[in-house]
Amino acid sequence: MKHEIQLIVNGETRSLTVESQQTLLEALREDLGLTGVKHGCSTGECGACSVLLNGEVVNSCMVLAVEAADAEILTAEGLATDEGLHPLQKSFIDHHGVQCGYCASGMLISAKALLNRTSRPHEEEIREALVGNLCRCGAYADIIKSIQVASRARR
């Protein structure tokens, strides 16, 4: 069954035709070319495909594209502005939060969801926010540090 839907992706309204069984992850990567959203486990365990759906972090592999109709989606591609990289992105580069990079866009999205509600999170809150994001390189310590530094840099 085909559905005509609209998604507001990174601030831009996009119209697309999706099949019922198509996931939001597939729609973002294959139809809209947003390959910053990574395909990891397909089971909601790894968090590589994390996006913000109406401001809340979700695994895009666990949401049907049609379920997201008319929703606002933020992917890692939407973090930077004309003025440059987002403070989280800069901090991930400066403090080695990116090792192989596969988990990084999901980590950035989970961190963004955290900073949206808590401007100066404690380490424990950062760890809790990253429970659903796995890093196969084991770069957790640097990822946590990157988020801490970024949150301090923000006013």
Going along the chain, which residue ranges are E strands?
A: 2-9, 12-19, 50-53, 56-59, 72-74
- Residue listed under structure tokens 């909601």: 44
Query: C-beta of 144: minimal distance to another protein in Å?
Result: 14
Nearer to another protein, 56 or 94 (CB): 56
Query: C-beta of 113: minimal distance to another protein in Å?
Result: 7
Which tokens in the block code for residue 57? 């972090």
Radius of gyration over alpha carbons of the chain, in Å? 15
Nearer to another protein, 17 or 153 (CB): 17
Query: C-beta of 94: minimal distance to another protein in Å?
Result: 25
Contact set with another protein (CB under 8 A): 1, 3, 19-21, 23, 42-45, 47, 50, 53, 56-59, 62-64, 66-67, 110, 113, 128-129, 131-133
Nearer to another protein, 13 or 118 (CB): 118
One-letter amino acid at 21 equals Q
Nearer to another protein, 64 or 149 (CB): 64
Helical H segments across 29-139, by residue range: 87-94, 104-117, 123-129
Q: Tell which residue, 135, 151, 154, has the closest CA to residue 143.
A: 135
